[in-house]
Structure 1
């Protein structure tokens, strides 16, 4: 599957512009991480990709054809887990997934439901009513409905919120496995969820694409701009953005990014989170 986005802009009736002239090319097989601060435009982009919104300007094409001319075909090949996903509390997990399978027109629904339940570790809860589930279990039900029927294009909006670390690792591995033969778009603000599995990253800030490339390319752009120092040694420096503080035996050690590191800061090798924060900090002052 190939999705082409050309000069895409979205302005809501309130006058708020969520996206500005977005140009992207998404092709399978691929696991793409979509990063950006809250309000950057990530959820709007995903709603446009599933035809939940109509763009103000621009075109989305799927396999060379305009999205709006093949909306029904796309939705038959799509698995979508939005950030705000409603569940029917009085249904059991199995009943809810059976309902979703019917909406998707899935043939052999029992087999598809069983596979989705197994993939999301919901076997023990399949007969439980959704209202009795914990937040993390409800999140797993949402992921299960998205992967029903092995869709060719999967879109996940903050899928690991509310999951414990072990569950998050399990689902990162599941997303990576699915991306071996399909297109998976994973939107999150949790860097750990993309750094080990995504082979392409897209960073959105203030409605514009600020970066599109590999994690290694994003990290390379931050080399020479990340450092550490002891808090007691800090002097007032403009443009120094502290990203973390850690208590050590020698006192509090700070990690920071800057366009130019002050002389009291020791340069270190950037991690993906450093590179992301460096990019966002640069955009914030431009």
Structure 2
């Protein structure tokens, strides 16, 4: 398994943001769902080594997040919800900058491939600050996949995209999920149904569901994912 999480916990003062969660994820797209404040972003920040856990363990591609954070980061592509970008850089310039950070060889060829994959071709010679929110989101995704990581962690990756852009990015995520492990956090249930093979629902820091989409529906009288989500988290 590319991701193994065992009793992972994060405490802020008196609040347990994440409370002893455990799960595994292999190749495919895992939908990571929960209401605002449920612990999704905190979990993703721990897996990407942005913040340390309070207790428990997790590994990414066999590397412990506490003992080998640099190796974890080499194997992960991360698109945070805030999508921080250098807005004064040109799109292609920002790609070259990220490639340099990763010490990539033959970076120009890979940059061209990723710009094509993410549909950034028409905008590649613009400054990021001139782009629409949807295209900025594409730049963030392009930077996340540039070094061809085995694991992708995407926090609200389709935020701000129009319906046509949604189709393209969802297809890209589906294609990437054929060979990579992807954790996809989103509030859009149709998105989960379109691209995810496994679903985890977290509420108040605790996992309340972890199953395949098909099995989750079968266990809940074939209700919609939205209805299942509401029932499990509205407590």
Is TM-score (shorter-chain normalized) higher than 0.5? yes
Distance 1:69 1:23 in 2: 19
- Aligned-CA RMSD value: 1.4
Partner of 2:24: 25
Q: CA deviation at 1:64?
A: 4.5
- Please give the secondary structure, in 2, of the residue aligned with 1:195: helix
Aligned-pair CA distance for 1:217:
2.0
Per-residue CA deviations over 1:118-165 (Å, capped at 9, x if unaligned) read: 111110110101111111111111111011022111110000010011
Residues 204-246 of structure 1 show CA distances to partners (whole Å, capped at 9, x for unaligned) of 11000000011122212332xxxxxxxxxxxxxxxxxxxxxxx
Give the secondary-structure state (helix, strand or coil) at the position aligned to 2:101: helix
Aligned equivalent of 2:207:
209
Which residue of 1 is the match for residue 60 of structure 2?
62
- Asked if the contact 1:218–1:276 (Cα under 8 Å) also holds between the matched residues in 2, the reply is no
Shift of 1:272: 1.9
Q: Does 1:9 align with 2:9?
A: yes
Note the 1:16-55 alignment, pairs <5 A: 16-27=15-26, 29-55=27-53
Structure 1: runs of 5+ lacking an equivalent: 224-268
Q: 2:139 maps to what in 1?
A: 141
TM superposition shift of 1:276: 1.8
Q: Is the 8 A contact 1:8 1:22 kept in 2?
A: yes
Q: Quick check: 2:199–2:213 contact (8 Å CA) kept in 1? A: yes
Partner of 2:103: 105
1:182 paired with 2:135, answer no
Kindly indicate whether structure 1 or structure 2 has the higher relative contact order, using CA contacts under 8 Å at least 6 residues apart. 2
Structure with more helix by fraction: 2
Distance 1:108 1:64, change over 3 A: closer
Specify which of 224, 228, 231 is matched with residue 271 of structure 1.
224
Aligned residues: 235
Is the contact made by 1:222 and 1:274 (CA closer than 8 Å) also made in structure 2? no
The alpha-carbon deviation at position 55 of structure 1 amounts to 0.6
Q: Which has the larger radius of gyration?
A: 1
Unaligned 5+ residue runs, structure 2?
none
Please give the alpha-carbon distance, in whole angstroms, between the structure 1 residues aligned to 2:104 and 2:229. 40
TM-score w.r.t. structure 1 length?
Answer: 0.79
Change (3 A) 1:22 1:117: same
**How much has 1:62 moved relative to structure 2?**
3.2
**Structure 1 equivalent of residue 70 of structure 2:** 72
Match of 1:173 in 2: 171
Determine the C-alpha separation between the residues in 1 that align with 2:103 and 2:78: 15
Q: Which runs of 4+ in 1 moved over 6 A?
A: none
SS at match of 1:84: coil
